[in-house]
């Protein structure tokens, strides 16, 4: 989905590719963040239910482990979105591209 920067590209071409990638990330990352948030909340709810109804401990550990990884994935997606938004904002502020 993201466009790779070719090895023989100039600095301006690489900057254009980076800008297009940042625009794509800024436009579509909200759905990925929402997916990771739903995964995290679902696994957290599962962990609470497993703990409440006294299922085997391995299910609780699996749900908690999944919730931790879901939270880490969500934080990673938010950080990626913020970096992409900063690139786009900086480019617009530098007046190199009309808003």
pLDDT tens string for the chain (99 positions)?
Answer: 677 788 888 888 888 888 888 888 888 888 989 999 999 999 999 999 998 888 888 999 999 999 999 999 999 999 988 988 888 788 777 766 544
pLDDT at 48: 92
pLDDT at 97: 53
Residue 32's nearest CA partner among 93, 66, 77, 65 is: 77
pTM for the model stands at: 0.72
Assess contact for 17 and 5: CB atoms under 8 A. Answer: yes
Which 3 state secondary structure label does DSSP give 16?
helix
Assess contact for 87 and 27: CB atoms under 8 A. Answer: no
């Amino acid at each position: 989905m993201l466009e790779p920067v070719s090895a023989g590209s100039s600095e301006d071409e690489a900057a254009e590719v980076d800008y297009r990638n940042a625009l794509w990330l800024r436009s579509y990352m909200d759905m990925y963040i929402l997916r990771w948030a739903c995964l995290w909340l679902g696994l957290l709810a599962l962990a609470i239910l497993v703990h409440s109804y006294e299922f085997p401990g391995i299910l609780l550990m699996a749900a908690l482990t999944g919730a931790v990884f879901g939270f880490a994935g969500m934080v990673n997606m938010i950080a990626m979105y913020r970096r992409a938004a900063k690139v786009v904002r900086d480019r617009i502020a530098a007046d190199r591209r009309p808003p």
